[in-house]
Amino acid sequence: MSGGIVRRALVVVIACCAAHSSLSAAPAYVHDPSIIKAGGTYYMFSTGHGIAMKRSPDLRAWEFLPPVFPTTPPWMRSEMPGFSGDIWAPDVTAANGRYYLYYAVSSFGSNGSFIRLATNMTLDPSSPDYRWEDQGKVIESVPGQTDWNAIDPNLVIDDEAHWYLAFGSFWDGIKMIALDPQTGLPAHRPPEVLSLARRPGVRNDPIEASFVYRSNGYWYLFVSFDYCCKGAGSDYKIAVGRSRHLTGPYVDASGTSMLDGGGTIVLQSYGDVHGPGAASVLRDGDSEYLVHHMYDARHGGVPVLQIRPLRWSDTGWPIAGEPIGAR
């Protein structure tokens, strides 16, 4: 979702398109997509100035909506020196009768980062109830004080309605904290930080963009290995491990722990599809989709959306199908 050393230099500012209401068959400049279905409409949030927002009736044609934050909140620049203007890796979930949007603010090449939460009663901008409300800072990483990076959030709710937040990039890998279901903020201060996955021995520990998904009696931890944000030179790839327990330990198909660098590859570069990563799973009735971005070598390596049917092997490992719609 965001490179620990080489960050989002390729992300194109799409704020200029926010007022553009026409539908397009293939939304360009999509990085770190998160999709949710609400009232028969699909809403997508992605990295960009103010958090980019789009909607679709069918996962194929997308309409630009105004960004979540039409103007940059002043505290973003005051609390994050070097803030580029792009808000990273939004993650949207419906719970408690509202929508929870976790997102990250950071600076390039640093683990000086924080995750924050905004909530809304609806995702329809035409509704009188549409209003994003800031719920405050969730967790922060500080250079020289923390060995992890507070970006790439993912809210996870278990079968007993316990809430957790997975996050992390490079540095010391993927982490998790418990949240208070009433507030969406940490259950404890300071939070107890659990480790889920890392790549020891690999230069810069290139692992990030975690997404935890329940299926087949397991919890599956999707991550991105290696580097995004280099256009057609990106070597991002989607990997996965699984566990019977939400907090781990997660192992890959060979039995290697994800804390020891394990991870079974789900999708990697092929043909004109370069650096697929920042994956999440959309469950839509009986259908499941793998949602991610990739760098399109046919168009100069621009990051674009891909949505693929998600299937499962006989042994319960995820298989990415061919992308739906226009690629």
| Token representation of residue 185 | 């903020």
Task: Say how many C-beta atoms besides its own lie within 10 A of residue 126's C-beta.
Answer: 6
Residues 206/263, Cβ–Cβ less than 8 Å: no
Of the residues 32, 205, 252, 288, which is catalytic? 32
Of the residues 152, 208, 226, 252, which is catalytic? 208
- Alpha-carbon distance 47 to 13, whole Å? 9
Q: Looking at 181-261, list the stretches that DSSP marks H as alpha helix, in order from N- to C-terminal side.
A: none
Sheet hosting strand 113-120, strand order edge to edge = 48-49, 86-95, 98-106, 113-120, 133-141
254 to 21, 188, 201: CA distances (angstroms): 48, 35, 19
Q: Look at phi and psi of residue 39 and say left if phi exceeds 0, alpha if psi is from -120 to 50, else beta.
A: left
- Alpha-carbon distance 208 to 167, whole Å? 8
- Alpha-carbon distance 217 to 8, whole Å? 35
| Residues across the chain | 327
Which is nearest to 198 in space by CA: 157, 232, 241, 134? 241
Which is nearest to 305 in space by CA: 13, 12, 27, 56? 27
Q: Is 208 a catalytic residue?
A: yes
Q: Output the 3-class SS for 141-179.
A: ECCCCCCCCCCCCEEEECCCCCEEEEECECCCCEEEEEE
User: Within a 13 Å sphere around the CA of 102, how many CA atoms are in the beta-carbon half?
Assistant: 27
Q: Which residues are catalytic, by number?
A: 32, 208
